[in-house]
């Protein structure tokens, strides 16, 4: 699935030994722990490009799968990152690169959570430990990183559209390369995937789609489509492929060997397998096949890739395959943290027992508010597009199952669904990551704001998100939300303010958004009883420096940048001996509506300089909103024009790295802000 960014629940692992040869079947080994030392992988070490696989025998490919799985376990322990999905597609990745001629043939991954094995086999093995780190490999496929990465991804459900575009362009140019799209069952729930399949049939395109069905996205897959896939599996039959490429209905040979959770007590009729959704659309369908059986994959895909028209091969895999803990807990092992230093491990555990209460994540604050408010107001309904865990909604879903709606990876539907609900006298809350709200933007404008419906958006993962990089950064939401009429946009400075702004926007009758970041807060205690803040009213946090200072700076901070603004102001005052300065630190709290009354008051009080500070793109952001008001509407600004500086993210995509590194790279850490303010004051 997604959306990454996700991002998803992470698991910190501590292990020191490997169950080196416990056979799960005659094809794969399984491991019980993550190795700390680089494992011995003699076959894998000979693979510097996919062409090196061509000389391998089938038995060597099976050995290679074991080595690659072990190497990925080791690498994940060193760097952290997406985990379960990568272990699940090792055999498929090997089979594709063995059969196809990349980079001439195009392999298109969906989301990219599962592309680590692909990176290893395409010349990036020795760099994999740098993944998600500054200047290291990206978390997802990226065209600039390798000629084997045919399309940059990060959001889900895009692979079939992109692959279809490639296929049609190749056909137009008279070229005959194979285009293979790998998409998971979670990503297939996104409407864009069905739009692309419909068009592929319309265009009669030569396109190979491989549905990697592991019954999971980040969470368990849900909905009618998931039930349909379960039905195909539970029939005990498959549509096999003959040597001539013809479909053959037969009993599945591995039906006893594959241990799959049953979704239904009764098996469906066998003919339903032939009348499946993909065939009904117009695809030639084969499957389901065991996605961990390399000889079977080689047989099926070698024939399927030669067929004309749109073809779908349905395989079943196990998320976390070959690592026993991940197979038992695929949600918890969707992504992991790097292994702790071995010598400090016991001390770290000891320290964690004696430290104060851990800081709350903003998603936990939202989850707490959701449960508290739902207990007090029966009108509250909550919607998420496949981000139950990441958005902090697990407890709400448990306590209020009839009021919780996970719509799968369907952001457009989630927004319009909320609009429809709002017409019937309830109060829907859409919990969505900032980067994914971009996918429902037309619906936000047309189906919610234009009709001024009473919908609240809880916008998580706003700002820079660290290792997931540019695909998951939520740095455009101020701009695309504040320009929409009827929208109210709030930006809390900490956990306590987040809780009360959620309540304020919930109680407001109309379209609202509360925008908060990934990760933990500052440690602010959530105060009770719950408060209702005045809409559009900022708060002066502090005034530092002397009243008679020649320079008076208003530092207008939005959201979590308030803490940075306070530290920068303190540093500025202590360092500014030659040119004394007074600094007014303002928590703007609202991006729309702005507290224009406070802006007028500050200018009338003799402010000589104004700086805005936001973890958002400078272009179109909250600082731009301040500029627009001052230049176009402010009476005070016409008579006393202070110098203005907007501090934020520059006009470029910010590469992956830690959040600290990204902030420093953009000049949004304390020292970077101070430096910019000093230039302004000069």
* Residue numbers annotated as active site: 319, 411, 439
> Residue 603 and residue 442: Cα distance in Å, rounded?
38
Which sign does the torsion angle of CA 60, 65, 68, 70 carry? negative
Exposure string over 458-488, b if 16+ CB within 10 A, otherwise e: bbbbbbbbbbbbbbbbbbbbbbbbbebeebb
* Helices 294-304 & 90-99 angle (0-180, nearest 10): 40
**579 CB neighbour count, 10 Å cutoff:** 11
- Strands 207-213, 179-184: pairing is parallel
What residues contact 128, with CB distance under 8 A and at least 6 apart? 71, 72, 75, 79, 116, 119, 120, 137
* 470-161-220 Cα angle (round to 5): 70
Q: Is the peptide bond before 189 cis (omega within 30 degrees of 0)?
A: no
Which sign does the torsion angle of CA 331, 336, 342, 346 carry? negative
Q: Which residue has the tokens 């896939």?
A: 229
CB 515 within 8 A of CB 491: yes
Give the start-end residues of each E strand in 588-632: 590-592, 609-617
Query: How many helices and strands in the chain, by DSSP H and E?
Result: 25, 24
Distance of CA 301 to the CA centre of its chain: 30
């Amino acid at each position: 699935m997604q959306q990454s960014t996700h991002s998803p629940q992470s698991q910190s692992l501590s292990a020191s030994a490997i169950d080196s040869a416990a056979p799960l079947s005659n094809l794969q080994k399984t491991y019980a722990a993550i190795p700390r030392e680089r494992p011995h992988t003699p076959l894998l070490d000979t693979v510097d490009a996919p062409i090196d696989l061509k000389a391998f025998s089938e038995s060597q490919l099976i050995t290679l799968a074991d080595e690659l799985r072990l190497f990925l376990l080791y690498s994940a322990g060193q760097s952290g990152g997406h985990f379960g999905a990568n272990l699940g597609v090792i055999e498929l990745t090997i089979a594709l690169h063995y059969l196809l001629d990349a980079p001439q043939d195009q392999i298109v991954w969906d989301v990219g959570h599962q592309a680590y094995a692909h990176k290893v086999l395409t010349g990036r093995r020795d760099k994999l430990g740098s993944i998600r780190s500054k200047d290291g490999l990206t978390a997802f496929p990226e065209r600039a990183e390798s000629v084997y990465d045919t399309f940059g991804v990060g959001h889900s459900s895009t692979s079939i559209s992109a692959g279809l575009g490639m296929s049609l362009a190749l056909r137009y140019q008279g070229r005959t390369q194979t285009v293979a799209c790998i998409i998971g069952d979670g990503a297939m729930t996104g409407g864009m995937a069905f739009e692309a399949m419909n068009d592929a049939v319309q265009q009669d395109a030569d396109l190979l789609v491989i549905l990697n069905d592991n019954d999971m996205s980040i969470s368990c897959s849900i909905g009618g489509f998931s039930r349909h896939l379960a039905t195909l599996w539970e029939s005990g039959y498959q549509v096999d492929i003959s040597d001539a490429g013809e479909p053959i209905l037969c009993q599945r040979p591995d039906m006893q060997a594959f241990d799959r959770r049953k979704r239904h007590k009764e098996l469906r009729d066998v003919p339903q397998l032939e009348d499946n959704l993909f065939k009904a659309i117009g695809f030639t369908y084969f499957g389901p096949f065991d996605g961990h059986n390399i000889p079977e994959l080689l047989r099926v895909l070698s024939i399927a890739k030669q067929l004309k028209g749109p073809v779908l091969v349905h395989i079943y895999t196990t998320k976390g395959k070959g690592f026993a803990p991940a197979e038992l807990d695929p949600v918890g092992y969707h992504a992991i943290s790097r292994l702790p230093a071995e010598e400090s491990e016991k001390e770290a555990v000891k320290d964690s027992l004696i430290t104060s209460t851990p800081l709350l994540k903003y998603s936990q604050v939202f989850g707490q508010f959701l449960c508290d408010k739902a207990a007090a107001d029966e009108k509250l309904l909550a919607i998420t597009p496949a981000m139950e865990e990441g958005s902090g909604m697990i407890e709400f879903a448990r306590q209020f199952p009839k009021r919780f709606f996970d719509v799968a990876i369907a952001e457009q539907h989630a927004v319009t669904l909320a609009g429809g609900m709002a017409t019937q006298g309830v109060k829907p809350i859409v919990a969505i990551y900032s980067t994914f709200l971009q996918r429902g933007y037309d619906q936000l404008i047309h189906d919610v704001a234009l009709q001024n419906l009473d919908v609240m958006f809880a916008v998580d993962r706003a700002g820079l998100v660290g290792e997931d990089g540019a695909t998951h950064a939520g740095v455009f939401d101020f701009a695309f939300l504040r320009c929409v009429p009827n929208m109210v946009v709030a930006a809390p400075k900490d956990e306590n303010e987040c809780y009360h702004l959620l309540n304020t926007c919930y109680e407001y009758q109309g379209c609202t958004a509360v925008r908060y970041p990934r990760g933990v807060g500052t440690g602010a205690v959530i105060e009770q009883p719950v408060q209702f803040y005045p809409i559009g009213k900022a708060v002066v946090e502090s005034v530092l420096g002397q009243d008679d200072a020649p320079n008076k700076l208003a530092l207008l901070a939005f959201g979590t940048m308030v803490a940075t603004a306070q530290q920068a102001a303190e540093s500025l005052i202590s360092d500014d001996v030659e040119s004394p300065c007074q600094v007014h630190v303002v928590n703007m709290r609202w991006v729309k509506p702005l507290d224009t009354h406070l802006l007028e008051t500050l200018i009338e009080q003799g402010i000589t300089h104004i700086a805005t500070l936001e973890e958002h793109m400078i272009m179109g952001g909250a600082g731009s909103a301040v500029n627009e008001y001052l230049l176009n509407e402010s009476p005070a600004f016409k008579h006393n024009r202070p110098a203005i500086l907007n501090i934020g993210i520059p006009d470029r995509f910010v590469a992956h790295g830690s959040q600290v590194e990204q902030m420093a790279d953009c000049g949004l850490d304390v020292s970077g802000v101070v430096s910019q303010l000093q230039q302004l004051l000069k």
